[in-house]
Amino acid sequence: MKIPMSRFQIHDDLTAPEGSLAVLRGALSAGGQLPNFLGVLAGSPAALRAYARFRSELRHGKLSQPTYERIALAVAEHYHSEPGVALHSRAARAAGLAIDEVALARQFDSRDESQAALLRYLHALLVDGRPAMHLHEEAREAGWDDEQILEAIAEVTLESFTAMINVAGDVPVDGSTEASRALEAA
């Protein structure tokens, strides 16, 4: 059995640099378990703090949790980020998305035409760098205002950063490091 290993050290509150401890402790108190991604990002206190601030601000925006999860799933799939797909599949289900909607979101699609219009726009942005004007107009006609579209773009940026760290670091899916530690101890 191959044991998943990250190219970057996966820190916890005992090994992380001092500048990362406050964010890590906050994440631990909120979630109970530290995601591998945050453990890796803790290796750079500045990057960890920037990520945490960016994520925190977006949580106070106008987009719904199911919309955020659709975007996160699509971006994670785009970058082939296994940890991102696993995490956001669970989070999307918890946010009320059906299994078929999770699968569609991974392809920048949805049965909800409003969501699909936004995802098509974001897909063009991510793939082409500049979405065609008709995609912007379709998103607007589907009910998305400027504030929501800008937040959606910000979410693409944040999830792209997350996926890039996961892929560049070969970060294992959450829970796999605990399984490998158990194997090593046996």
Q: Is residue 115 part of a domain?
A: yes
Query: How many structural domains does the chain have?
Result: 2
Residues 16 and 76 in one domain: no
For residue 182, the model assigns a pLDDT of 43
Residues 161 and 89 in one domain: yes
> At 175, is the pLDDT very low, low, confident or very high (cuts 50, 70, 90)?
confident
The pTM of the full predicted model, rounded to 2 decimals, is: 0.89
Question: Residue 55: is its pLDDT beyond 50?
Answer: yes
Domain that holds residue 46: 8-60
Which of the two residues, 29 and 159, has the higher pLDDT score? 159
Q: Is residue 159 part of a domain?
A: yes
Residues 20 and 37 in one domain: yes
Residues 89 and 39 in one domain: no
Q: Find, among 85, 86, 110, the residue nearest to 98 by Cα.
A: 110
Residues 56 and 114 in one domain: no
Q: Is residue 100 part of a domain?
A: yes
Residues 103 and 90 in one domain: yes
For residue 181, the model assigns a pLDDT of 41
| Residue range 147-171, pLDDT digits in tens | 999 999 999 999 999 999 999 999 9
For residue 97, the model assigns a pLDDT of 98
The CATH number assigned to the domain holding 117 equals: 1.20.1290.10
Residues 73 and 102 in one domain: yes
Q: Is residue 90 part of a domain?
A: yes
Helices 133-141 + 113-128 axis angle, to 10 = 160
For residue 6, the model assigns a pLDDT of 87
> At 123, is the pLDDT very low, low, confident or very high (cuts 50, 70, 90)?
very high
Question: Residue 2: is its pLDDT beyond 60?
Answer: no
d(CA 182, CA 104): 35
